[in-house]
Every structure is written in C-alpha cells, then in structure tokens.
Amino acid sequence: MEVLKEKILTEGTIIGSKILKVDSFLNHQIDINLFNEIGKEFKERFSSHEITKILTVEASGIGIACIVAQHFGNIPVVFAKKHEAANLDSDTYETDVFSFTKNKTYKIRASKKYINPEDKILIIDDFLANGNASLGLVEIVRQAKAKVVGVGIVIEKAFQNGRILIENEGIKVESLAIIKSIQDSKIVFKDA
C-alpha cells in the first residue's frame, strides 16, 4: 500500500535496530484518512471471505479495527483487554502473550459473551513482529471454538518470524506494508 509506505518513510523513526515508531499517524496521533484507506484495503484483500466480527487487542489496535469494521458493513469489534478490572466479566477466554517491545509477558482476556462458535473472525493489529500478539488472539478465538478467517496487519517486520508462525497454523496473513530490513536507520520494503 503505497500511501502507507510513503508515510512510514517520511514520518517513521527507528529505535535501536528493530523498532519502528510511527506515533504521528498510527500509535499516538491518528490519521483518519489513512485509516480509511487501510480499511478499504483490508476489505479488498478479504473480500472473498465471510467475516462476522473483528478481534484486536488494546490499545493501538482498537482505532484501526473500528475503521476497518466500517468497511465490512459495521460488524462488531471486540478488543482483548490487557488489564484485569472489576468491571470485566469474570467468565473470559484468556492467554499469555510475550511482548518483545516491553520484554515482559502479559495476559490478554476477552469476555465469553462476545465471541461465539459461529463467529468468523478477522484479527487486526498494528504491527507483526514475532507474532505473539496475533497468536494470542488466535488462541482466544480457538478457545471460543470460532473460526479465524485471517490476520490483517498494518505494518509487518519480515525480519522477525511472526508471519511463518501464523501461516503454520493454516491462517492467511495480509500485511499492508512489509519491511524487509532496517539497516543504519534505513527502512527497506519488500516489493508488492
């Protein structure tokens, strides 16, 4: 997706050798026009699939998922929660996720009320690195005995191994910008 790649090149900054910071349009301030293009693109890429719900994880996934959902006919969005709270239903699907950006393991949970065996779910997230967040969401869908239709990612870092781990589960992965490498703060995209 050319407009997204352009935005990454002009506004993204690199932290260390592996982390891309895109706070100006994705992770802190949100570019709604770009999100609309992202929604349109995911709709095209998953057009042949029936999707009943979108699942993401808080916090950055929520905004993207909501706009994507509008392109799928305003289907519901469920977001897995990272924090235990008195107002979260006690009956939850949950699993552990290791975050390499934070270097710690946390739990994600979703109420059993909102994912049902008849659901066909598109998982959406902002980044794909080692695949832990997406695979955690896959696990939640499987606990609910629902179907994962695919995983839609805004920015994939192909030098980490998330894609292969998800594809090994027999799940389709669609990423809108795929970064092949980051060398000396230079971002190189994988073609097409």
| Contacts with ligand 5GP, residue ranges (CB under 6 A) | 19-21, 27, 60, 99-101, 125-134, 162
CB of 99 to ligand 5GP, least distance (A): 6
Tokens standing for 159? 């030098």
CB of 70 to ligand 5GP, least distance (A): 21
Nearer to ligand 5GP, 20 or 67 (CB): 20
CB of 184 to ligand 5GP, least distance (A): 17
User: CA nearest 173: which of 129, 143, 108?
Assistant: 129
> What are the residue ranges of helices labelled H in 14-117?
32-45, 60-71
Nearer to ligand 5GP, 6 or 100 (CB): 100
Contact criterion met (CB below 8 Å) for 27 and 12: no
Q: Please give the C-alpha separations between residue 172 and each of 34, 134, 151, 165, 182, in angstroms, as whole numbers.
A: 23, 12, 6, 11, 25
Element of type H or E holding 191:
none
Nearer to ligand 5GP, 39 or 162 (CB): 162
Element of type H or E holding 96:
strand 92-99
Nearer to ligand 5GP, 21 or 113 (CB): 21
Tokens standing for 147? 């179907």
CB of 164 to ligand 5GP, least distance (A): 12
Nearer to ligand 5GP, 13 or 116 (CB): 13
Token pair 């090149």 is at which residue? 9
CB of 15 to ligand 5GP, least distance (A): 8
